[in-house]
Structure 1
Amino acid sequence: MSKTRVIALLSDFGLKDGYVGIMKGVIASINPQITIIDLTHEIPPQQISAGRFCLMNAYPYFPLETVYIGVIDPGVGSQRRGVAIEVPGGYLVGPDNGLFSGVLSQVQAIAAVALTNRNYWRVPAPSLTFHGRDIFATVGAHLASGISLEKLGQSIDIESLVNFPLEPIKITEKGLKGTIQYIDYFGNLITNIPAAQVRGKPWSIIIKNQTIKHSLTYSDRQPGELITLIGSHGWVEIAVNRGNAQQRLQVQWGEQINLVFR
């Protein structure tokens, strides 16, 4: 083992139970020198799209060669593949269910393997309900310790990886039609419209029969007022200054919005 890489962990396990700690214990048992960063464990249960967004958003801000272990796995124990994917910034380890397709929409995968080599699993016969412990944490720890991707299993075609695409943006007579792709802790509604589509143009968002004018910062509106702006993540979002846009508008993931240029 020639090097020690950072591991970034993401899951929908929450912190009430011991699942996250157990995964960290497995990693430390293999190599206690690994630095583990918790990206988040508060993804809503089974919400692959939310995990997709968080990984995609976080990927540019980690050190090169980081190993990202993502465990949002409603198909655990089924025939879905476990995979490890090499990308320019590091490695992605987890279920092949589209969780990594946000990152892969931004960068080109270099190589991918199905996790078929049981020598790098925690046990040869893993739990059918906790692959995060028995396969993904273990494989990720070996990768972070310098084991090569090729040793982890059978090479697979990059094009065969499951894609979980965003709803496509539609061009309308007055602007764009999009959807809500993520809702953060503050209740901000993050759309699937990237900043590049609107930069340099004035716009408004129409949602739930309300028209919300574009501004630059949250404080451009009075406390309690709705606002739309480009968030730090680089997507158009809807917010309430010092409030919660999801609660105000009563919307969920996938809700349609109209963006109109003015």
Structure 2
Amino acid sequence: MPIITLTTDFGEKDHFAGGVKGAIYSELDDVRIVDISHSVSPFHISEAAYIIQNAYRSFPQGTVHIIGIDSGLNPENKHIAVYLDGHYFICANNGIISMLASEINPEKIVEINIHDRIDSNFPVLDVFVKVACHLARGGTLEVIGKPISELKELTGIRPVVNREANQIIGNVIYIDNYGNVVSNITKSLFDEVGKGRPFKITARTASFNKVYTNYSDAINFDLPPEKREEDGKKLALWNSSNYLELAIYKSNPSTVGSASTLFGLEFRDTVTVNFDAT
């Protein structure tokens, strides 16, 4: 049974997500629909890119992913369908796919050209659904679009390494439900530049000189519970996607606070790694 996933900024209140699902079932009843997220911040392209980048690999090859973020059609925001890493992605050419394509080159990209056959003011419901169901049936990309070779780049999403190769300047690209702050600095880049040297990570007033693999690694469980530093302990770690994340152990944005609130960090704020000179 084919799988179609949905990632949108529709939220849960309105009818949009339900309408897309109904349209898919009207086109193709033998299909499984999976919601990745409908809680992406409105028009937040990099947030959507981070979510889909870290979710799609869990699905089987051949899955079709509809991404309904900033999908209004205009001369600078064309609709595309992409075959990348064994998966199909349908979205606007607004930079979302460039984050996925930073490590894996797409095998095929087409600019969707079936709009003149569809009367629509809701492209995710109409155009994206038509394309997704066509692909889920085993159809080819060439039928629904003309091949193109370039994707719009998502600017400001890549960290910068200085000329002396002793500093990485990154940015906050995502804040999760726990208020943990995810930067665009990957472990592979960190290791490549750092070469095992001592380092200091800074983000506003917070600083770190160690990066953990798991949240609990920051806690000394050899100590009795009353002597452990747990609540409110700040830490840096490589998250499950191998991005540098700044966190508070067992944080809760509504009560004890979170990395975002306690460190005063928001989207695009700077995260810097300085390595000792060699």
What CA distance in whole angstroms lies between the structure 2 residues aligned with 1:109 and 1:236?
26
Q: 2:144 aligns with which of 152, 156, 171?
A: 152
**1:197 aligns to 2:189 (yes or no):** yes
What CA distance in whole angstroms lies between the structure 2 residues aligned with 1:241 and 1:191?
17
* Matched letter for residue 125 of structure 1: D
The residue correspondences of 1:1-262 to structure 2 (distance < 5 A) are 4-73=1-70, 76-79=72-75, 80-118=77-115, 124-127=118-121, 130-156=122-148, 158-159=149-150, 161-165=151-155, 166-171=157-162, 174-199=166-191, 203-216=199-212, 217-219=214-216, 220-221=218-219, 222-243=230-251, 244-261=258-275
What CA distance in whole angstroms lies between the structure 2 residues aligned with 1:108 and 1:197?
19
What CA distance in whole angstroms lies between the structure 2 residues aligned with 1:181 and 1:239?
14
* Matched letter for residue 119 of structure 2: A
Deviation at 1:170, TM superposition (A): 2.2
Q: Does structure 1 retain, via aligned residues, the 8 Å contact 2:179–2:260?
A: yes
Q: Does structure 2 retain, via aligned residues, the 8 Å contact 1:204–1:228?
A: no
Matched length: 251
- TM-score using structure 2 length: 0.84
The alignment yields a C-alpha RMSD, in angstroms, of 2.0
* Matched letter for residue 154 of structure 1: K
What CA distance in whole angstroms lies between the structure 2 residues aligned with 1:117 and 1:211?
52
Q: Does structure 1 retain, via aligned residues, the 8 Å contact 2:159–2:185?
A: no
Unaligned runs of 5+ in 1: none
- TM-score using structure 1 length: 0.88
* Matched letter for residue 158 of structure 2: E
Give the number of the structure whose alpha-carbon radius of gyration is greater: 2
What CA distance in whole angstroms lies between the structure 2 residues aligned with 1:111 and 1:215?
38
